[in-house]
Amino acid sequence: MSAKILLLPGDGIGPEVVEQAAAVLRRAADRFAIDIELSEADLGGIAIDRHGDAYPPATQQAAREADAVLMGSVGGPKWDGLPAPDRPEKGLLRIRADLDLFGNLRPALLYPQLAAASSLKAELVAGLDIMIVRELTGGIYFGEPRGIHRLENGEREGYNTYRYSEREIERIARLAFDTARRRDNRVCSVDKANVLEVTMLWREVVERVASEYSDVELSHMYVDNAAMQLVREPKQFDVIVTGNLFGDILSDTAAMLTGSIGMLPSASLDANSKGLYEPVHGSAPDIAGQGKANPLATILSVAMLLRYSLGRSEAADAIETAVSAVLDRGLRTGDIASPGGVVVTTQQMGEAVVESIS
């Protein structure tokens, strides 16, 4: 039976990078005899424009029926004036919640060819390999009550609720410990347990889950320190597990250690192996439509899709090897270019990866 893969190109550079990633997926499927069936639907701003809804019913149905989803990015200045519930970004939050994609894996891996593009000195990032495990369907992103209301004195007040249940903390902690077992057996849980009750509970539950994983070393860190440690000495981390908002911020920070946010893939997983795969970056309106976007984050997300949802790690490995090969050949999009180096377009980069898959 063929695996149903749904493409959601989205907005801005999303369609540009998804086009290249889909070509890589087709090539890998051909090469490794993987039976796939690709379809496409609208999510985000384009879905608002075409259907008046950031996550329209047809996309909902296609997403629920798919074995895996590959997304580009959503949002952009065109829709920035809309109220929060109607924005393109809400479409992304809704699909994550709808598919129960609570576990967001965001690897920050330095390709040695890009050491010079890192924001840090080469010796601090050589061999860098961190996995951020971000809780994705809870926390302050989803907590109720939320909104903006008017106070008696006439001024307005905005509020959100940072909430986690024990069950939600437990399942993300388990994902982090299981992930660490396939890596260096170390988990650092990042919270703000010196101030926020919700993260005091987070710490307690993570400790409880850790007692079932005596082979994995657990440490805790406050988020402010973690942000600092990520840029001071990033190689101290193996797996970082954290809540939705802290994980969003720390993964963009980690991106710059690897050279560019254009290099960072992600997998958002449910309790089985269904997943939504997307680059960590956004729709990059400043470079959209110019062929400047780096497609490698989305291409590497295809590798994660093959590994986690289709169980085809040989095809995933081949894509990662192909990415390394094009970097070896010196191909660079603008975000990872060295001064005076040759810069290729989104399409040229994508085609080079396709050709390198063997």
Stretch of 3-11, 24-32, 88-96, 311-319 contacting ligand IPM, by CB under 6 A: 88-96
How many whole angstroms separate alpha carbon 57 and alpha carbon 230? 41
- With respect to ligand IPM, which residue has the nearer C-beta, 267 or 299? 267
| Other beta carbons within 10 Å of 324 | 14
Each residue 233-252 as x (binds ligand IPM by CB under 6 A) or -, in order, gives ---------------x----
- With respect to ligand NAD, which residue has the nearer C-beta, 229 or 253? 253
Tell me which of 42, 238, 248, 351 binds Mg ion, using CB under 5 A: 248
Instruction: Return all residues near 41 (Cβ < 8 A) that are at least 6 apart.
Output: 6, 7, 8, 58, 59, 62, 63
Q: What is the CA radius of gyration of the chain?
A: 20
220-227: long-range pairs with CB below 8 Å, 24+: 220/188, 220/189, 220/190, 220/191, 220/193, 221/188, 221/189, 221/190, 221/191, 222/190, 222/191, 222/192, 222/193, 222/194, 223/190, 223/191, 223/192, 223/249, 223/250, 224/192, 226/188, 226/190, 226/250, 227/253
184 is catalytic: no
Query: Contact between 168 and ligand IPM (CB under 6 A)?
Result: no
The size of the interface with ligand NAD (CB under 6 A), counted in residues, is 21
Instruction: Report helix, strand or coil for 202.
Output: helix
4 is catalytic: no
Flag whether 44 is marked binding.
no
Tell me which of 28, 74, 188, 216 binds ligand NAD, using CB under 6 A: 74
129 is catalytic: no
Instruction: Report helix, strand or coil for 218.
Output: strand
The encoded tokens of residue 260 equal 């560019």
How many whole angstroms separate alpha carbon 187 and alpha carbon 308? 20
Residue 40 DSSP label: E
248 is catalytic: yes
Flag whether 284 is marked binding.
yes
- With respect to ligand IPM, which residue has the nearer C-beta, 176 or 357? 176
How many whole angstroms separate alpha carbon 9 and alpha carbon 15? 4
The encoded tokens of residue 184 equal 């260096």
Catalytic residue among 111, 141, 164, 213: 141
Q: What's the 3-state SS for 145-168?
A: EEEEEECCCCCEEEEEECCCCHHH
Stretch of 5-13, 36-44, 246-254, 289-297 contacting Mg ion, by CB under 5 A: 246-254
Residue nearest to ligand NAD (CB): 282
Query: Contact between 92 and ligand IPM (CB under 6 A)?
Result: yes
- 224-243 burial, b at 16+ Cβ within 10 Å, e below that, comes to eebbebbeeebeebbbbbbb
281 interacts with, out of Mg ion, ligand IPM, ligand NAD, none, CB within 5 to 8 A per kind:
ligand NAD
Query: Contact between 11 and Mg ion (CB under 5 A)?
Result: no
Each residue 257-296 as x (binds ligand NAD by CB under 6 A) or -, in order, gives ----xx---------------x--xxxxxxx-----xx--
- With respect to ligand IPM, which residue has the nearer C-beta, 45 or 75? 75
Q: Which residues bind Mg ion (CB under 5 A)?
A: 248
Q: Which residues are catalytic?
A: 141, 192, 224, 248, 252
Query: Can you say which residues are annotated as belonging to the binding site for Mg(2+)?
Result: 224, 248, 252
Query: Can you say which residues are annotated as belonging to the binding site?
Result: 76-89, 96, 106, 134, 224, 248, 252, 282-294
Q: Which residues bind ligand NAD (CB under 6 A)?
A: 13, 73-76, 89, 92, 261-262, 278, 281-287, 293-294, 297, 335
